[in-house]
Amino acid sequence: MKALLIKDIHLLKSQKQFFGIVALMLVLFTVVQDNKSFAIIYVAMMFSILSMTTMGYDEYENGMCYLMTLPFSRKEYVQSKYVFGILSSFLGLTFSVIFAVAATVAKGGIYPWEELRDALLPCIMLITGTLSVSMPVQLKFGSEKSRVVFLSIYGIGFVAVYGVIQICRKADIRLSDMMSFVKDVLSTPWRLGLICVVVLIASYFLSVRIISRREF
Amino acid sequence: MLKLENVKKQYDGFELDCSLEVKEGCVTGLVGKNGAGKSTVFKAVLGLIQTDGGSLRVFGKSPGELDKKDKQRIGVVLADSGFSGYLTVKDLVPVLEQLYTGFRREEFLEKCKKFRLPQDKKIKEFSTGMKRKLQVLAAISHGAGLLLLDEPTAGLDVVARDDLLELLREYMETEGRSILISSHISSDLEGFCDDIYMIDDGKIILHEETDVLLSDYAVLKATDEQYHVLDKSYILRYKKEGFGYSCLTDQRQFYQENYPELVIERGNIDELIMMMIRGERK
């Protein structure tokens, strides 16, 4: 797996422009707009897709075919992508938090823990969601087709949420009660952590299943 | 080393049904026109596709049973795939070092220099020939026991082809090594392979030792009259031509001795392919 992680790090050298834009946005949202929470969520989201970016590079000019002949198992390939995704996401998250705190302190202010927590919880959910959905989708459909699949998933998700809201209204179910229940569950760090781990593990096994059956 | 027995793979409009063997210490060639099934054979051997039947053994194991150590004993060049174009030669070195315990860093870099492969340039900016050279150099860089080379000389000029074949000859100087190589440039295989398999439409239509192929096979050029009186016991294929008939035989000497008036051309592999594919069975 070490070889695959080294390869992915080298592949990211092509992403200088990407890192430049992310850094610029971080400065813009933190220093200029003073919207630290958004900056943290933005950077974490951007870093969480790096693993998918490296998969796109692996697939460049049918490269996956050759890659799969090298001495590692398909399972190890999937493992390396999840490890890389989690590590890069948390690296981005850590970096953006340190920057946001430093920028606040430099201005003579204090970054309240409650505000930071309110930014971190959706971040962790978004990172988990992005990795868990995009990994199996990209392994199944490849970089090109997966864009269409992602759009379809978001479309279906939007319709599903809209449908639930309509059903709740007709059945006279109070949505605010449901939302506060979900918020309660997710705002407890250990519960959120557990849900994220379960979702990631389920996604990992699905990805292993997909790549094991895939022909190159 | 490698044995395929009636390995089957079904695609829309194409069916592979292939048996071949690569023995230890031998270079085995696989020739055939585009779409004949050469790459499918390589993909099946490497476990990149699931086969629909038959038996396939690499080092006595099925492709799915090959572990990391087994895979380290294989060097691969694929016709339509290679290292990610976003990497450089310099990036590849630590990756190969981690992947192969037997990777010889200095030798690899020295050969890259010899073949004028820039170390800091992205592979996607390489020419086709440079990409091929890099793949071959990587395949032989870790002391593999078996090389699987699908069209390794495609896109190379004559000099580069010769250089690469020389590298492969050097590689074969160590005992116990084997190569399965495909190429549509038959002259590459004629001077390099111990035996040659010919594949057409997914099926092996001929297997012969290269020496026998070049010494005993021939194309007879016969007029209509000559053809009608010809003993056709050793005619493998025939084809109607403007002057009469072209006939492929694996008993050149028989016809040379018994039909001295016949025009007999020593077979080269290109002609053999043409006759085997386009000619009719007698």
**Per residue in B217-268, pLDDT tens?**
999 999 999 999 999 999 999 999 999 999 999 999 999 999 999 999 887 7
Q: Which residue has the tokens 């992508």?
A: A81
Q: Are residues B200 and B248 part of one domain?
A: no
Tell me, yes or no, if A63 comes closer than 8 A to chain B by beta carbon.
yes
- Provide the b/e sequence for B156-179 (b: ≥16 CB within 10 Å): beeebbebbbebbeebbeeeebbb
B74 closest CA partner among B111, B47, B92, B94: B47
Domain boundary among B151, B185, B209: B209
pLDDT at A14 over 80: yes
- The secondary structure of residue B84, as a DSSP letter, is -
Q: Residue A176: what pLDDT?
A: 76
| B 25-64 → A contacts, CB under 8 A | 43, 46-50
- Alpha-helix runs per DSSP H in A60-172: 63-67, 74-106, 113-170
End-to-end CA separation in angstroms for chain A: 20
> A55 or A176: which carries more pLDDT confidence?
A55
Q: What's residue B75's pLDDT?
A: 96
CATH of residue B160's domain is 3.40.50.300
Residue with the two structure tokens 């080298």: A10
What is the tens place of the pLDDT at every residue in A167-202? 888 887 777 777 777 777 777 778 888 888 999 999
Q: Please report the ipTM that was assigned to this predicted complex.
A: 0.87
Q: Which two tokens stand for residue A70?
A: 């090298």
pLDDT band (50, 70, 90) for residue A76: very high
Q: A216 and B48: CB-CB below 8 Å?
A: yes
Which comes out higher in pLDDT, residue A33 or A58? A58
Asked whether residue B184 carries a pLDDT value surpassing 90, the answer given is no
Best A50, A66, A67, A210 residue to mutate vs chain B (most B CBs within 10 Å): A66
- Domain termination site, one of B152, B184, B209: B209
A114 vs A22, higher pLDDT: A22
pLDDT at position B219: 92
φ and ψ at residue A68, rounded to 5 degrees = -75, -5
Which of chain B's residues have a Cβ under 8 Å away from the Cβ of A66? 76, 78, 81-83, 135
Measured between CA atoms, how close is B113 to chain A, in angstroms?
21
Rounded Cα–Cα distance for residues B210 and B187 (Å): 11
Would you place residue A140 in the very low, low, confident or very high pLDDT band (cuts 50, 70, 90)?
Answer: very high
Between helix A50-59 and helix A36-48 the angle, nearest 10°, is: 30
For residue A195, give the nearest of A92, A121, A138 by alpha carbon. Answer: A121
Among the listed ranges A3-7, A77-81, A188-192, B207-211, which one has the minimum average pLDDT value?
A188-192
Work out the average pLDDT over A47-76. 92
> Quick one: closest CA in B to A12, which residue?
B86
β-pair type (B245-249, B218-222): antiparallel
Residues B191 and B269 in one domain: no
The answer to whether residues B69 and A59 touch, using CB atoms and an 8 Å cutoff, is no
Q: Do B27 and B62 sit in the same domain of this protein?
A: yes
Closest alpha carbon within chain A to B98: A3
What distance in Å separates the CA atoms of residue B46 and residue B64, rounded to the nearest whole number? Answer: 9
Strands B203-209 and B53-58 come out as unpaired
Contacts of residue A136, defined as CB under 8 A and 6 or more positions apart, other chains included, come to: A203, A206, A207, A210
Contact state of A10 with B46 under an 8 Å Cβ cutoff: no
Domain extent for B78? 2-209
Smallest CA–CA distance, residue A207 to chain B, in Å, is: 17
Q: Percent of chain B scored above 90 by pLDDT?
A: 70
B 104-143 near A (Cβ less than 8 A): 122, 124, 135
SS3 for B118? coil
- Which residue of A70, A75, A76 is the best one to mutate when testing the B interface, meaning the one whose CB has the most B CBs within 10 A? A70
The C-alpha atoms of residue A94 and residue A100 are separated, in whole angstroms, by: 10
Q: Do A66 and B81 touch (CB under 8 A)?
A: yes
Residues in B closer than 8 angstroms to A69, CB to CB, are 46, 48, 71, 74, 76, 78
For residue B5, pLDDT over 90 is answered with: yes
Residue B203: what pLDDT?
93
B235 and B120 fall within a common domain: no
As a whole-number percent, the residues of chain A with pLDDT over 70 amount to 99
Q: Identify the domain boundary among B168, B185, B209.
A: B209
Best probe of the A interface among B42, B84, B121, by most A CBs < 10 A, is: B84
- CB A79 within 8 Å of CB A7: no
Same domain, B271 and B197: no
- The length of chain B in residues reads 282
pLDDT at B9: 95
Residues pairing with B150 in the sheet: B182
What is the rounded distance in angstroms from the CA atom of residue B84 to the CA atom of residue A8? 10
Look at residue B17 in the predicted model and tell me its pLDDT.
Answer: 94
Nearest CA in chain A to B77: A66
pLDDT-derived band at B190 (thresholds 50, 70, 90) equals confident
Q: Are residues B95 and B15 in the same domain?
A: yes
Confidence of residue A146 (pLDDT cuts 50, 70, 90): confident
User: Residue A5: what pLDDT?
Assistant: 95
Radius of gyration, CA atoms only, chain B: 21
What's the N-to-C CA distance of chain B in angstroms?
36
B77 and B99 together in one domain: yes
Q: Is A9 near chain B, with CB under 8 Å?
A: no
Which has the closest alpha carbon to B43: B188, B182, B161? B182
Model pLDDT, residue A3: 94
Q: How confident is the model at residue A13 (pLDDT cuts 50, 70, 90)?
A: confident
Q: pLDDT band at residue B48, thresholds of 50, 70 and 90?
A: very high
Residue range B72-94, pLDDT digits in tens: 999 999 988 999 999 999 999 99
The pLDDT value recorded for residue B191 is: 83
Inform me whether the pLDDT recorded for B61 exceeds 80.
yes
Tens-place pLDDT, residues B102-156: 999 999 999 999 989 999 999 999 988 889 999 999 999 999 999 999 999 887 8
Residue type, B150: D
Give yes or no: residues B269 and B136 share one domain.
no
User: Who wins on pLDDT, B179 or A148?
Assistant: B179
Cα angle value B56/B60/B64 (rounded, 5°): 55
Mean pLDDT, residues A79-87 taken together = 95
* Mean of per-residue pLDDT scores for chain B: 91
User: Based on the structure, what is the number of domains in chain B?
Assistant: 2
Nearest CA in chain B to A58: B84
pLDDT at B156: 83
Q: Which residue has the tokens 């900056």?
A: A39
Query: What CA–CA distance (Å, rounded) separates B193 from A214?
Result: 33
Residues of A in contact with B89 (CB under 8 A): none
Q: Which of B202, B242, B203, B235 is nearest to B220 (CA)?
A: B235
